[in-house]
């Protein structure tokens, strides 16, 4: 088992409650400001997820897409975001999220060597399904960075078992068939989807996409091992700044711990 | 049931969000079953004959031969297909399969608008709802096709991101599909995208090469020396080339967009100037920055204004079976004008790139045997843009 995967699993085991995974776009609103955003989010974050902007994301809704484009327009590079992660290594584990082409362009060995050196625990690749990228997974494993698998409501039970063979750290349950930033409906479909995932994959199950309110987070925490909050935080950062985003993250965290 | 290939050499694959994997599997299964179903073939072939107007003629262009002092030159007249381009071969086939899968909503991306029109047409024919994503820039330069799509009942969704061209329209269409995958079929218009699309689109377009091969043998009693087609995503080219891949003596030439010149950096020559990378779900040659951000392409022709290319072309480029060259905006305009006046045929600006390569190399190629050019579409959609470049004032 890779080092990053061990750290991530330990985070779940030690908390003994559902974890909060706030998402932020690296380099948004600017590279310097995103450093402040990260520091502001750290106290509420059990795991911090940082996006590396790609020019042509397929799974991002308008909010995250626009944030990524703003970062790209300012010349933010994958190396900048990995360096930002390196500055945050004293805090909660960092996972990065990006698209496969940025890993291929850097070369998987170099990409994961740099990420590991920055203390990055895991990488979510939104367009790398479980049956692609053997070379990428091998390079990540060698460097000790976990590749976090994504599963969707459309993923069959048979395919969940295939995902189980490559999944590390935790498994990211995409709450809706859709892009990021809509509103999740916390209903029986979501509950049964997460139950299917937990039955097939022996890792913590974290729900993301469309988690907007502390109420969402609290309810999802009843049946999942954690929640990712992304677009709602990006919107808050854009409208009201890092402190407001930190306050929202703290409310979410309180809802997950039952303190709300 | 025959399996559908997912890779061409190292290229292709399925680099997409997990959400759509099930739908890709379903489409591959449905297409494979349809192909083995004689009823499906009968229905498709009848539509291709009576609705599309196939086989399209292979026309000997003696005016062009005189102009270039080369020959014989034959044009495969895909411009005479219903809707005005080869795109209908693919759109009709995919919509037929969508109907078998029980999908009621069709989406598509379009650059020049020919694929959008073809898809809107097929959707109208089968009573399905249709949404076409099109970059804002392309909507302006291909206005005629926007009007046609709307007349056919499609919703045309403008895409404002980036340069407002085909790359952005495709990303937006994929995002729609990720969201509505359960009831929607995404009709990709070129031989690009995640598997099984590149194979299915090529298979549906291979009728071009099959017909052309039989027609040239009939006309000349021999195979062509050279077969030429323009390459954006590369669907007309792969459809044409598939008729001749096993004929080792037939030279195959793909023509990419050189825009304002390769040296200017403003072009669409993914194979000539790109490096392997992932865009829109498959690994293929790609115009990109050293960090892997996808670059903007540039071409006077909206259909070739795309930084990627179909994965089979990447493989054929590496193996050397197909030679890929490029033609500039200006060369394409010159070839456009030459076909208008020497043959009385107004070609699409995309196809004009293939004609430009014939203008440049025709004399040399002519010594190797007949030249067959895929005239992939007609140029009605381009008259405003080309007219301006030709100083036609009305």
Query: Which residues, 6+ apart, have CB-to-CB distance to B281 below 8 Å?
Result: A58, A127, B13, B14, B15, B16, B174, B193, B194, B197
Q: Does residue B175 belong to the interface with chain A, where contact is any CB pair within 8 Å?
A: yes
Closest by Cβ to A127, choosing from B15, B181, B289: B15
Q: Does residue B294 belong to the interface with chain A, where contact is any CB pair within 8 Å?
A: yes
Q: What is the pLDDT of residue A182?
A: 80
CA-based nearest residue in chain A for residue B293: A55
Q: What is the pLDDT of residue A259?
A: 62
Does residue B344 carry a pLDDT above 80? yes
Collect all residues of chain A within an 8 Å Cβ-Cβ radius of residue B14: 129, 131-132
Q: Is the dihedral of CA A214, A219, A225, A227 positive or negative?
A: negative
Half-sphere exposure of B373 (CA within 13 A, CB side): 32
Q: Does residue B22 belong to the interface with chain A, where contact is any CB pair within 8 Å?
A: yes
Strand stretches in chain B, DSSP E: 7-8, 11-12, 58-60, 73-77, 105-110, 129-135, 155-159, 184-187, 226-230, 251-259, 275-279, 282-286, 322-328, 371-375
pLDDT per residue as tens digits for the range A23-37: 999 999 999 999 999
Percentage of chain A with pLDDT > 70?
98
CA distance B159 to A130: 31
C-alpha torsion angle, residues B389, B347, B147, B95 (rounded to 10): -150
Q: Is A151 in Cβ contact with B292 (below 8 Å)?
A: no
Helix (H) or strand (E) holding B213: helix B207-220
Q: Does residue A128 belong to the interface with chain B, where contact is any CB pair within 8 Å?
A: yes
Catalytic residue ranges of B: 87, 109, 376
Distance from CA of B182 to the nearest CA of A (A): 8
pLDDT band for position B131 (50/70/90)? very high
Mutate to test the interface with B, among A125, A127, A131, A176 (most CBs of B within 10 A): A127
Q: Is B23 in Cβ contact with A154 (below 8 Å)?
A: yes
Q: What is the pLDDT of residue A177?
A: 80
Give me the architecture of the A3-257 domain, per CATH: Alpha-Beta Barrel (3.20)
Does residue A175 carry a pLDDT above 70? yes
Collect all residues of chain B within an 8 Å Cβ-Cβ radius of residue A151: 18
Q: What is the pLDDT of residue A1?
A: 43
Q: Does residue B279 belong to the interface with chain A, where contact is any CB pair within 8 Å?
A: yes
CA distance B188 to B166: 12
pLDDT per residue as tens digits for the range B67-108: 999 989 999 999 999 999 999 999 999 999 999 999 999 999
Collect all residues of chain B within an 8 Å Cβ-Cβ radius of residue A156: 22
Q: Which two tokens stand for residue A123?
A: 């990488």
Which B positions 195-234 lie with beta carbon below 8 A of chain A? none
B317 vs B161, higher pLDDT:
B317
pLDDT per residue as tens digits for the range B233-270: 999 999 999 999 999 999 999 999 999 999 999 999 99
Q: What is the pLDDT of residue A100?
A: 98
Collect all residues of chain B within an 8 Å Cβ-Cβ radius of residue A55: 162, 293-294
Mutate to test the interface with B, among A76, A129, A153 (most CBs of B within 10 A): A129
Q: What does the mean pLDDT of chain B come to?
A: 96
Q: What is the pLDDT of residue B153?
A: 98
Does residue A18 carry a pLDDT above 90? yes
Distance from CA of B107 to the nearest CA of A (A): 15
Q: What is the pLDDT of residue B3?
A: 84
Collect all residues of chain A within an 8 Å Cβ-Cβ radius of residue B162: 55
Closest by Cβ to A59, choosing from B17, B180, B181: B17
CA distance B15 to B195: 9
Find, among A212, A194, A193, A190, the residue nearest to A204 by Cα: A194
CA distance A107 to A127: 17
Q: Is A72 in Cβ contact with B293 (below 8 Å)?
A: yes
Q: Does residue A58 belong to the interface with chain B, where contact is any CB pair within 8 Å?
A: yes
Collect all residues of chain A within an 8 Å Cβ-Cβ radius of residue B20: 154
Does residue A2 carry a pLDDT above 60? no
Q: Is B174 in Cβ contact with A58 (below 8 Å)?
A: yes
- Mean of the pLDDT values across residues A43-48? 98
Find, among B52, B50, B42, B40, the residue nearest to B89 by Cα: B52
Q: Is A150 in Cβ contact with B288 (below 8 Å)?
A: no
Helix (H) or strand (E) holding B31: helix B21-35
Does residue B1 carry a pLDDT above 70? no
Strand partners, B201: none
Q: What is the pLDDT of residue B389?
A: 86
Matching residue, tokens 């062009």: B64
B2 vs B338, higher pLDDT:
B338
Closest by Cβ to B15, choosing from A78, A132, A156: A132
CA-based nearest residue in chain A for residue B172: A58
Q: Does residue A150 belong to the interface with chain B, where contact is any CB pair within 8 Å?
A: yes
Q: Which two tokens stand for residue B35?
A: 């192909």
Distance from CA of A250 to the nearest CA of B (A): 30
CA-based nearest residue in chain B for residue A102: B292
Q: Is B22 in Cβ contact with A156 (below 8 Å)?
A: yes
- Mean of the pLDDT values across residues B205-227? 98
- Mean of the pLDDT values across residues A153-158? 95
Q: What is the pLDDT of residue A39?
A: 98
Q: Does residue A127 belong to the interface with chain B, where contact is any CB pair within 8 Å?
A: yes
Catalytic residue ranges of A: 49, 60
Q: Does residue B281 belong to the interface with chain A, where contact is any CB pair within 8 Å?
A: yes
CA distance B14 to B167: 18
Q: Which two tokens stand for residue B102?
A: 């029980």
Collect all residues of chain A within an 8 Å Cβ-Cβ radius of residue B293: 54-55, 72, 102
pLDDT per residue as tens digits for the range A230-245: 999 999 999 999 999 9
Q: Is B280 in Cβ contact with A100 (below 8 Å)?
A: no
Q: Does residue A145 belong to the interface with chain B, where contact is any CB pair within 8 Å?
A: no
Does residue A184 carry a pLDDT above 90? no
CA distance A125 to A150: 8
- Mean of the pLDDT values across residues A181-195? 89
Global confidence as pTM: 0.96
pLDDT per residue as tens digits for the range B186-206: 999 999 999 999 999 999 999
Collect all residues of chain B within an 8 Å Cβ-Cβ radius of residue A155: 18, 21-22
| Extents of the domains making up chain A | 3-257
Which A positions 167-196 lie with beta carbon below 8 A of chain B? 174, 177-179, 182
């Amino acid at each position: 088992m890779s080092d990053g995967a061990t750290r991530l699993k330990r985070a779940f085991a030690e908390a003994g409650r559902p974890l909060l995974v706030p998402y932020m776009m690296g380099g948004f609103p600017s590279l310097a400001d995103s450093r402040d955003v990260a520091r502001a989010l750290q106290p509420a974050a059990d795991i911090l997820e940082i996006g590396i902007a790609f020019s042509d994301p397929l799974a991002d809704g308008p909010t995250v897409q626009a944030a990524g484009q703003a970062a790209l327009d300012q010349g933010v590079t994958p190396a900048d975001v990995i360096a930002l992660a390196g500055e945050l290594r004293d805090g909660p584990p960092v996972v990065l999220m990006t698209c496969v082409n940025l890993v291929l362009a850097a070369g998987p060995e170099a990409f994961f060597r740099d990420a590991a050196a920055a203390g990055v625990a895991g990488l979510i690749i939104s367009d790398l399904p479980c049956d692609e990228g053997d070379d990428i997974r091998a390079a990540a494993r060698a460097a000790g960075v976990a590749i976090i698998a994504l599963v969707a409501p459309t993923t069959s039970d048979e395919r969940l078992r295939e995902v189980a063979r490559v999944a590390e750290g935790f498994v990211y349950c995409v709450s809706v068939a859709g892009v990021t930033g809509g509103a999740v409906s916390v209903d029986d479909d979501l509950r049964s989807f997460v139950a299917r995932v937990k039955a097939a994959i022996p890792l913590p199950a974290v729900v993301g996409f469309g988690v907007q309110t502390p109420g969402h987070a609290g309810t999802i925490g009843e049946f999942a091992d954690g929640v990712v909050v992304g677009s709602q935080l990006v919107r808050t950062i854009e409208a009201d700044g890092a402190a407001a985003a930190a306050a929202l993250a703290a409310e979410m965290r309180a809802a997950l711990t039952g303190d709300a | 049931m025959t399996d559908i290939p997912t890779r061409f050499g190292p290229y292709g694959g399925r680099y997409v969000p997990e959400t759509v994997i099930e739908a890709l599997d379903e489409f591959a299964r449905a297409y494979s079953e349809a192909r083995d179903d004689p009823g499906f073939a009968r229905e498709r072939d009848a539509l291709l004959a009576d609705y599309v107007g196939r086989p399209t003629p292979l026309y000997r262009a003696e005016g062009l031969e005189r102009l270039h002092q080369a020959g014989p030159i034959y044009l495969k007249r895909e411009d005479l297909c219903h809707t005005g381009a080869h795109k209908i071969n693919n759109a009709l086939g995919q919509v037929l399969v969508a109907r078998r899968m029980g999908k009621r909503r069709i989406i598509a991306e379009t650059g020049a608008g020919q694929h959008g029109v073809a898809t809107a047409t097929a959707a109208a024919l089968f009573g399905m709802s249709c949404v076409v994503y099109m970059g804002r820039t392309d909507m302006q330069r291909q206005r005629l096709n926007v009007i046609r799509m709307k007349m056919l009942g499609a919703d045309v969704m403008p895409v404002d991101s980036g340069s407002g061209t085909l790359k952005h329209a495709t990303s937006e269409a994929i995002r729609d599909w990720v969201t509505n995958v359960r009831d929607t079929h995404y009709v990709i218009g070129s031989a690009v995208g995640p598997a099984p699309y590149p194979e299915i689109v090529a298979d549906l377009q291979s009728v071009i090469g099959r017909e052309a091969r039989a027609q040239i043998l009939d006309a000349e009693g021999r195979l062509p020396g050279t077969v030429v087609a323009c390459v954006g995503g590369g669907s007309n080219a792969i459809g044409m080339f598939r008729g001749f891949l096993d004929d080792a003596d037939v030279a195959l030439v793909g023509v990419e967009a050189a825009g304002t010149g390769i040296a200017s950096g403003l072009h669409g020559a993914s194979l000539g100037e790109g490096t392997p990378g992932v865009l829109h779900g498959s690994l293929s040659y790609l115009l990109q920055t050293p960090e892997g951000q996808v670059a903007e392409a540039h071409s006077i022709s909206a259909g070739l204004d795309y930084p990627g290319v179909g994965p089979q072309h990447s493989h054929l480029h590496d193996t050397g079976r197909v030679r890929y060259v490029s033609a500039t905006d200006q060369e394409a305009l010159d070839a456009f004008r030459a076909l208008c006046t020497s043959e009385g045929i107004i070609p699409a600006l995309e196809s004009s790139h293939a004609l430009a390569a014939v203008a440049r190399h025709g004399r040399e190629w002519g010594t190797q045997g007949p030249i067959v050019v895929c005239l992939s579409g007609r140029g009605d959609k381009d008259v405003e843009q080309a007219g301006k470049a030709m100083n036609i004032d009305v």
